[in-house]
Amino acid sequence: MWMAKRAIVELEQGWELVENGINKLKRILEWYLKPADGSPMPDLLDVDECMMIAIYNMCTQAHPHDYSQQLYDKYHEVYQDYIRSMGFPSIKEKHGEFMLRELVGRWLNHKVMMKWMLFFFNYLDKYFTVSRSLPSLDAIGIAYSRNLLNQEVIANARDAVINLIDKEREGEQIDRALLKNVIDIFVEVGKGQREFYEQDFEAQMLQHSAAYYSRKASNWIAEECLKRERDRVSHYLLKSSEQKLVENVQHELLVVNAKQLLKKEDSGCCVLLRDYKVEDLSRMYRLYRKIPNGLVVFSTIFMQHVTAEGTALVQQVEDAASSQAANGAGLQEQALKVALEKSCRTVTGRSSAELLITFCDNIFKKGGSSEVVKFSHILSTETSLQNSTGKSLLIGYFLIWSANKDHEKRILTKLKQQLWCTIHIKDGANDLTSALENQTIFEEYLRNNTNVNTGIDLNVTVLTSGFWPSYKSFDLSLPLEMVRCVEVFKGFYETRTKHRKLRWIYSLGTCTINGKFESKHIELIVSTSQAAALLLFNNADRLSYSEIMTQLNLNHDDVVRLLHSLSCAKYKILTKEPNTRTVSATDNFEFNYKFTDRDEKD
């Protein structure tokens, strides 16, 4: 009786079958991590037996078809590919508690995969690795588990765990089971030994805990001592002793060692700012603000921190611009300007050119026109040419035209050269002079026509459009008080000319209005659109975003910008509900009767 000869299984043919089974195992593991996508769980039972037979055949075939070594090498490759393509990237892209949850899930998957891989390659592990004295397949899986936890993952996981521990110390609820699972990973990577856990987690955790309680202790002790001294006064000392006693304790606890306390390496102000410890910073601020000049060192450290952080960010941009990817110094310089411009607009909502113009406008008003020329080269870019931002400097300068015409013309000529503007100096100057004369005639017209009443003081600067940059205009619906003024001036202007049409540029106008607040009346200098918005509240206690938008006839972007300046900026003339830092179409607004001018000095 003859037995049929077993067919040879070539490496490519056999490995294709094995690889399909491994890929199906990976899909099952991913399904357990993300089962919510609705896809059914793959079935592994239909391939595992075929895989084991194929592996067995490839390991027991006669030379040269014994592929045991090749299968051993591919076993390594499977783990390398799994960690590189699925394990590490998915952990790295998450942060904080989400990263810890991903790490725990990936670690569990890795352990399940180790068991199945050992089951599939059981014959290879039992005979080939033993006969060649090679590391067992189980040892290979454990070794690659350490690759999954590289130094970056370990550091991020450790920091995330310590951060959650700090939150619990501050009274927040945390997922303790999650932390226990992460700690178990540190132990399991070390094969149950504590050395890995102690070196890569425990040492840093203990160091951080010491710094945490050192920081807390210094602040708690100071606050507690001051509290006890006040309590002591209330029980058996004279009330007149309280201030003296408190000042004495503050001096010894805080003033004498102020620099040492604020600059401590592990718990000082720099560390609190770096780690964003808001509560500890608040406690430190409360303690030192009551001491004469107590915040001087505090503010100096804060300034140094902001300077260092800002310098580091700018240096990063400069380094990126100087990399080999940039060709030529001009390109590097332009890239740096663009990057800084974008970062400026992101933080402030305004371009650097717009911020500079506001700064220059303040210098103009203080008579420092020569200083403005030193800054104007920053605006000499293509962006400034494409819009009228740079030209706004010239407009602003004309609007504060002084009596010294020769000096002013020299300054304007320099600005024009820096900004490449096409504005005509002579025509613009003559036009402004004519506008000033026109205002004088208008005032005379009002005095001679007592039946004409504007209701409010009105100054109008009429300029010839051909001599000036174009400005975006919008059809602002003015309140009745302003409409009457506009109609009066329009009637006056038509008595002087029939061939010119007035186009009102409200964005260049300012208004001085009298706000009646609970504490006192306060004069507010605002833009025309801001004044129009505020006057709406003379007839309504509460207005919605859509009502303001409709009554002013402005588009969404203009209304958001307008209401943000009145309700979210430094001076909150309007109160907003909800009280957030941004304006949305569902907000409601009220006049802030409790507003006070904190900057005004008595």
Lowest mean pLDDT among 111-125, 208-222, 355-369, 476-490: 355-369
The CA angle 201-207-213, to the nearest 5 degrees, is 130
User: For the CA atoms of 359, 365, 366, 369, what is the dihedral angle to 10 degrees?
Assistant: 70
Q: How high is the pLDDT of residue 589?
A: 94
pLDDT at 587: 92
> Tokens 């802030």 sit at which residue?
592
Can you give the pTM of this predicted structure? Answer: 0.40
Split at pLDDT 50, 70, 90, the class of 404 is very low
Q: How confident is the model at residue 467 (pLDDT cuts 50, 70, 90)?
A: low
> Would you say residue 360 has pLDDT above 80?
no
Read off the pLDDT of each residue in 474-497 and give the average, rounded to a whole number: 83
Contacts (Cβ under 8 Å, ≥6 apart) of 119: 48, 52
% pLDDT > 90, the chain: 3
Evaluate whether 113 touches 82 at the Cβ level (below 8 Å).
yes
3-state SS, residue 421: coil
Q: Cβ(298)–Cβ(284) under 8 Å?
A: yes
* Averaged pLDDT score across all residues of the chain: 73
- The pLDDT score that the predictor gives to residue 235 is 62
For residue 384, pLDDT beyond 50: no
pLDDT tens digits, residue range 411-458?
Answer: 556 555 555 454 555 566 676 777 778 888 888 888 888 777 777 888
Per residue in 279-311, pLDDT (tens digit) is 777 777 777 777 667 677 777 777 877 887 777
Q: 134: how many CB neighbours lie within 10 A of its CB? A: 14
Q: Which of 69-73, 379-383, 509-513, 576-580 has the lowest mean pLDDT?
A: 379-383
Q: CB-based burial of residue 315 (10 Å sphere; 0-12 exposed, 13-18 middle, 19+ buried)?
A: exposed
How does DSSP classify residue 349? S
The 3-class secondary structure across 46-91, one letter per residue, is HHHHHHHHHHHHHHHCCCCCCCHHHHHHHHHHHHHHHHHHHHHHHH
Lowest mean pLDDT segment, chosen from 164-168, 226-230, 237-241, 302-306? 237-241
391-399 vs 352-365: helix crossing angle, rounded to 10:
20
Segment 218-240 mean pLDDT: 63
Three-state DSSP class for 316? Answer: helix
Is the pLDDT at 69 greater than 80? The verdict is yes
Q: What is the pLDDT of residue 402?
A: 45
Q: d(Cα 324, Cα 331) in Å, to the nearest integer?
A: 11
Q: Which segment, 353-367, 443-457, 545-559, is predicted with the most confidence on average?
A: 545-559
* 8 Å CB contact between 363 and 393: no
Per-residue pLDDT, averaged over 246-262, amounts to 64
DSSP class of 389: T
Average pLDDT, integer, range 121-139 = 81
Contacts of 22 (CB under 8 A, 6+ apart): 78, 117, 120
Segment 37-52, tens digit of pLDDT: 555 665 655 556 777 7
- Predicted confidence at residue 389, as pLDDT, reads 46
Q: Residue 151: how many CB atoms within 10 A of its CB?
A: 8
The rounded distance, in Å, linking the Cα atoms of 139 and 186 is 17
Ranking 221-225, 287-291, 344-348, 358-362 by mean pLDDT, the lowest is: 344-348
* Rounded Cα–Cα distance for residues 569 and 341 (Å): 22
Domains of the chain: 11-193 (1.20.1310.10), 225-311 (1.20.1310), 350-423 (no CATH), 433-591 (3.30.230.130)
Alpha carbon of residue 290 to chain centroid: 32
- List 528's β-bridge partners, or say none: none
**Is the confidence at residue 390, as pLDDT, over 70?**
no
Task: Give the pLDDT band (50/70/90) at residue 388.
Answer: very low
Phi-psi region of 293 (alpha: psi -120 to 50; beta: other; left: phi over 0): left
User: pLDDT band for position 574 (50/70/90)?
Assistant: very high
Q: 3-state DSSP call for residue 268?
A: coil
- Rounded average pLDDT over 556-570: 88
Sign of CA dihedral 388, 391, 396, 401: negative
Instruction: Name which of 80-89, 99-108, 259-268, 310-319 the model is least confident about.
Output: 259-268
pLDDT at 364: 55
DSSP element (H, E) containing 479: none
Report the candidate in 167, 147, 166, 163 with the shortest Cα–Cα distance to residue 106.
Answer: 147
Say what the pLDDT of residue 337 is: 66
pLDDT of residue 86: 63
Query: Does residue 500 surpass a pLDDT of 50?
Result: yes
The structure tokens listed for 18 are: 């094995």
Beta bridge partners of 523: 514
Give buried/exposed letters for 534-546 (b at 16+ CB in 10 A, else e).
bbbbeeeeebebe
- The rounded distance, in Å, linking the Cα atoms of 202 and 186 is 10
Q: Which residues pair with 41 in a beta bridge?
A: none
The pLDDT value recorded for residue 382 is: 43
126 or 371, which is more confident?
A: 126
How many C-alpha atoms does 596 have within 13 Å on its Cβ side? 7
